Amino acid sequence: MGLEKIIEELFTYHRGKTIGVLIGLIFSILVITVGLLETVFITICIYIGFIIGKRLDENESFNDLVQKLFKDKK
Protein backbone atom coordinates (compact mmCIF):
# COMPACT_ATOMS: atom_id res chain seq x y z
CA MET A 1 0.00 0.00 0.00
CA GLY A 2 1.59 3.25 -1.14
CA LEU A 3 1.61 6.63 0.52
CA GLU A 4 -0.85 8.02 -2.03
CA LYS A 5 -3.35 5.28 -1.18
CA ILE A 6 -2.99 5.97 2.56
CA ILE A 7 -3.53 9.71 2.05
CA GLU A 8 -6.54 9.03 -0.18
CA GLU A 9 -8.10 6.74 2.44
CA LEU A 10 -7.45 9.26 5.23
CA PHE A 11 -9.20 12.04 3.34
CA THR A 12 -12.02 9.73 2.18
CA TYR A 13 -12.90 7.99 5.44
CA HIS A 14 -11.43 10.29 8.11
CA ARG A 15 -11.59 13.73 6.48
CA GLY A 16 -12.53 15.73 9.61
CA LYS A 17 -9.96 14.08 11.85
CA THR A 18 -7.24 14.41 9.23
CA ILE A 19 -7.92 18.10 8.65
CA GLY A 20 -8.12 18.67 12.41
CA VAL A 21 -4.76 17.03 12.97
CA LEU A 22 -3.17 19.06 10.17
CA ILE A 23 -4.59 22.32 11.56
CA GLY A 24 -3.32 21.40 15.03
CA LEU A 25 0.11 20.60 13.64
CA ILE A 26 0.34 23.89 11.74
CA PHE A 27 -0.91 25.85 14.77
CA SER A 28 1.63 24.21 17.08
CA ILE A 29 4.51 24.83 14.67
CA LEU A 30 3.49 28.49 14.41
CA VAL A 31 3.29 28.85 18.21
CA ILE A 32 6.76 27.37 18.59
CA THR A 33 8.34 29.45 15.81
CA VAL A 34 6.62 32.86 16.04
CA GLY A 35 4.90 32.88 19.44
CA LEU A 36 1.36 32.56 20.75
CA LEU A 37 0.10 36.12 20.22
CA GLU A 38 1.43 36.25 16.67
CA THR A 39 -0.17 32.90 15.92
CA VAL A 40 -3.52 34.04 17.29
CA PHE A 41 -3.25 37.18 15.13
CA ILE A 42 -2.48 35.07 12.04
CA THR A 43 -5.44 32.81 12.84
CA ILE A 44 -7.81 35.78 13.17
CA CYS A 45 -6.58 37.22 9.86
CA ILE A 46 -7.12 33.86 8.14
CA TYR A 47 -10.64 33.67 9.56
CA ILE A 48 -11.50 37.20 8.39
CA GLY A 49 -10.13 36.36 4.95
CA PHE A 50 -12.21 33.20 4.87
CA ILE A 51 -15.40 35.09 5.75
CA ILE A 52 -14.74 37.75 3.09
CA GLY A 53 -13.98 35.07 0.49
CA LYS A 54 -17.10 33.11 1.41
CA ARG A 55 -19.27 36.18 1.03
CA LEU A 56 -17.69 36.98 -2.33
CA ASP A 57 -18.26 33.38 -3.46
CA GLU A 58 -21.93 33.86 -2.57
CA ASN A 59 -21.97 36.80 -5.04
CA GLU A 60 -22.32 39.42 -2.33
CA SER A 61 -20.63 42.61 -3.45
CA PHE A 62 -17.63 43.81 -1.47
CA ASN A 63 -19.26 47.22 -0.91
CA ASP A 64 -22.35 45.57 0.63
CA LEU A 65 -20.10 43.56 2.91
CA VAL A 66 -18.22 46.66 4.09
CA GLN A 67 -21.49 48.53 4.66
CA LYS A 68 -22.84 45.64 6.76
CA LEU A 69 -19.70 45.65 8.89
CA PHE A 70 -19.69 49.39 9.55
CA LYS A 71 -23.36 50.37 9.58
CA ASP A 72 -24.78 52.21 12.60
CA LYS A 73 -26.52 50.02 15.14
CA LYS A 74 -29.20 52.33 16.49
As a dihedral over the C-alpha atoms of residue 55, residue 59, residue 64, residue 65, rounded to 10 degrees, the angle is 10
- pLDDT tens track for 54-69: 888 888 777 777 777 7
Confidence of residue 70 (pLDDT cuts 50, 70, 90): confident
Confidence of residue 74 (pLDDT cuts 50, 70, 90): low
pTM summary value: 0.65
Query: What residues contact 27, with CB distance under 8 A and at least 6 apart?
Result: 39, 43
As a dihedral over the C-alpha atoms of residue 55, residue 57, residue 63, residue 66, rounded to 10 degrees, the angle is 20
Phi, psi of 2 (to 5 degrees): -85, 170
Mean pLDDT along residues 31-48: 94
Whether 5 and 13 have beta carbons less than 8 Å apart is answered as no
Choose the weakest-confidence range: 14-18, 31-35, 61-65: 61-65
